[in-house]
């Protein structure tokens, strides 16, 4: 017994006294946190630069960057990793629409359990913005990070050629412009210039970039659901369907696909787009090509401020993380003003942060990138999606009814919206 006591005492003293093996001990105590980045090369660059700076300043807490594994979609890859308990510590590109699936699987850490979470969140955004990221149980499991508000992109040169000098803001203004823009330029009897292009493929997420931003603009920011009740069976949806149906039926939107970029090739005058398109346009546009962004189109009788789809992404810490407090410290670091500016500079994606246009930290950036000002003005008003596990199925249904009514004119907008709502509610009622 005495021998055991002496052994334990010596072990205790060795932990407090420097020795030749101290460096080895420190290396063994080092924490390594794995951070999955989205596959976009710019986001990978942001992740690497941010992690490198952190690692220099925090030798005992190292961040290892990995790109989210390949798969049909990153959401499916993440959900599969949660199921197999092979998730990283941090993931910085979570689609808010899958949060309920992550919660049902008990896959993510409750962030508002950290004492300083509320202070960090409130420093970045007002409650009316952050509330849409709160989960149904009243807690926060995601850190709202970045936003890509969807706006209307116009070829102003094409519009000017037909006498249009003011960008359309309403359905009737857009349709009136379409009657001038849509034409046969070479006289061969076939239309070769259209008002707009819409990716009408029957894929659920495509509707997040046409129907959904138009619906948000028409409804003043109301999302598709109220808790688990369908809320889109209304005049706002019908107006959107009717407007898009007219665009297709009158030939203002082509029913074909093209090689190359139809917008830069001046075959169409408008499209739905986000801030990611600016770098592409600036890189490939002809010298005399002029373009401008405008708020999402609204019904003629709308008196509300423009609202659109945020196309936002959040940051989560997975429950497989053995060091959640240290992971939270890194999340705080990557969402500081300094790193929000880095995000803008590298990715041309907007942090979800209030007062950027008045903040000196961002003044130089927006001075050099005036097109981004339009998007920054939309950030706090843009809306995300409802977080229900049936979200993909609901958008699948909307896409099917969209195709039947808007593309092929087989149903009236009223009938298509009603059918989509009823079918969606049936799915939600099955618990």
Residue 91's H or E segment, with its range, is: strand 90-94
Question: Residue 416: CB partners within 8 Å, gap ≥ 6?
Answer: 241, 401, 402, 404, 405, 406
The verdict on 298 and 319 lying in the same domain is no
Torsions phi, psi of 305, nearest 5?
A: -70, 150
Domain-embedded: residue 372: no
**What does the block give as tokens for 47?**
């992740």
The verdict on 283 and 415 lying in the same domain is yes
Among all chains, which residue has been given the structure tokens 């990793």? 81
Domain-embedded: residue 318: yes
CA torsion, points 404, 408, 409, 411, in degrees to nearest 10? -20
Domain-embedded: residue 158: yes
The verdict on 124 and 220 lying in the same domain is no
pTM of the predicted protein model: 0.90
Q: Are strands 350-351 and 143-147 parallel, antiparallel or unpaired?
A: antiparallel
Going by C-alpha positions, the residue among 387, 405, 362 that lies closest to residue 101 is 387
Give the HSE-up count for residue 144: Cα atoms under 13 Å, Cβ half-sphere.
34
Alpha carbon distance 287, 324 (integer Å) = 50
Tell me the sheet residues that pair with 229.
226
* Beta carbons within 10 angstroms of residue 224's beta carbon: 24
Alpha carbon distance 155, 214 (integer Å) = 20
| Burial bucket for residue 70 (CB in 10 Å: 0-12, 13-18, 19+) | exposed
Provide the CATH number for the domain around residue 328.
3.40.190.10
What does the buried/exposed string (b/e) look like for 161-200 if buried means 16 or more CB atoms within 10 Å of the residue's CB? eeebeebbbebeebbebbeebbeeeeeeeeeebbbbbbeb
In a structure prediction context, what are the per-residue pLDDT tens digits for the chain, which is 431 residues long?
A: 433 333 433 333 333 333 444 444 455 689 999 999 999 999 999 999 999 999 999 999 999 999 999 877 888 899 999 999 999 999 999 999 999 999 999 999 999 999 999 999 999 999 999 999 999 999 999 999 999 999 999 999 999 999 999 999 999 999 999 999 999 998 898 999 999 999 999 999 999 999 999 999 999 999 999 999 999 999 999 999 999 999 999 999 999 888 889 999 999 999 999 999 999 999 999 999 999 999 999 999 877 777 999 999 999 999 999 999 999 999 999 999 999 999 999 999 999 999 999 999 999 999 999 999 999 999 999 999 999 999 999 999 999 999 999 999 999 999 999 999 999 999 999 86
**What does the block give as tokens for 271?**
């499209």
Tell which of 300, 335, 351 closes a domain. Answer: 351
Per the document, the length of the chain is: 431
Boundaries of domain holding 43: 31-141+313-351
Number of domains in the chain: 2
Looking at residue 256, what is its pLDDT? 85
**C-beta separation of 78 from 69 below 8 A:** no
Domain-embedded: residue 74: yes
Looking at residue 108, what is its pLDDT? 98
Alpha carbon distance 348, 72 (integer Å) = 25
The verdict on 185 and 250 lying in the same domain is yes
Domain-embedded: residue 17: no
Strand order in 194-197's β-sheet? Answer: 194-197, 268-273, 151-155, 291-294
CA torsion, points 277, 278, 283, 289, in degrees to nearest 10? 100
Positive or negative, the CA dihedral 200, 201, 202, 203 is negative
Domain-embedded: residue 303: yes
Alpha carbon distance 141, 87 (integer Å) = 16
The verdict on 218 and 196 lying in the same domain is yes
Domain-embedded: residue 13: no
Alpha carbon distance 54, 219 (integer Å) = 43
**What does the block give as tokens for 233?**
């069976």
> Strands, E, within 318-388: which ranges?
350-351
Domain-embedded: residue 379: no
């Amino acid at each position: 017994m005495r021998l055991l006591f002496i052994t334990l005492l010596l072990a205790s003293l060795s932990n407090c006294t420097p020795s030749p093996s101290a460096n080895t001990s420190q290396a063994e105590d080092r924490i390594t946190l794995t951070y999955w980045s989205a596959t976009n090369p710019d986001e990978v660059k942001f992740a690497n630069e941010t992690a490198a700076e952190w690692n220099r300043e925090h030798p005992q807490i190292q961040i290892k960057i990995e790109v989210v594994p390949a798969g049909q979609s990153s959401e499916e890859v993440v959900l599969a990793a949660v199921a197999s308990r092979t998730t990283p510590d941090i993931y910085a590109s979570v689609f808010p629409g899958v949060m309920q699936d992550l919660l049902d699987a008990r896959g993510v850490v409750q962030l508002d359990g950290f004492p300083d979470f509320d202070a960090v969140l409130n420093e970045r955004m007002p409650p009316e913005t952050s509330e849409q990221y709160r989960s149904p149980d009243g807690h926060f499991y995601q850190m709202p990070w970045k936003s890509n508000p969807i706006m209307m992109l116009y070829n102003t040169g094409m519009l000017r050629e037909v006498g249009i000098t003011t960008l359309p803001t309403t359905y009737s203004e857009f349709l009136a412009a379409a009657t001038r823009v849509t034409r046969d330029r070479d006289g061969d009897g076939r239309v070769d210039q259209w008002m707009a292009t819409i990716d009408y493929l029957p894929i659920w997420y495509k509707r997040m970039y046409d129907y959904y931003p138009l619906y948000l603009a028409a409804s003043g920011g109301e999302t598709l659901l109220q808790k688990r009740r369908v809320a889109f069976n209304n005049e706002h949806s019908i107006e959107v369907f009717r407007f898009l149906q007219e665009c297709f039926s009158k030939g203002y939107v082509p029913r074909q696909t093209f090689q190359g970029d139809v917008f830069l090739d001046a075959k169409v005058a408008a499209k739905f787009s986000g801030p990611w398109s600016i770098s592409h346009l600036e890189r490939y546009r002809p010298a005399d090509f002029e373009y401008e962004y405008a708020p999402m189109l609204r019904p003629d009788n709308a008196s509300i401020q423009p609202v659109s789809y945020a196309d936002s992404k959040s940051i989560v810490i997975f429950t497989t993380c053995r060091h959640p407090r240290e992971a939270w410290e890194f999340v705080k670091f990557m969402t500081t003003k300094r790193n929000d500016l880095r995000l803008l500079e590298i990715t041309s994606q907007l942090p979800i942060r209030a007062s950027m246009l008045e903040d000196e930290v961002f003044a130089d950036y927006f001075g050099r990138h005036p097109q981004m000002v339009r998007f920054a003005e939309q950030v706090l008003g843009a809306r995300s999606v409802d977080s229900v596990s049936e979200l993909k199925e609901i958008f699948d249904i909307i896409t099917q009814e969209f195709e039947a009514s808007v593309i092929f004119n087989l149903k009236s907008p009223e009938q298509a919206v009603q059918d989509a709502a009823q079918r969606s509610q049936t799915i939600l009622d099955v618990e």
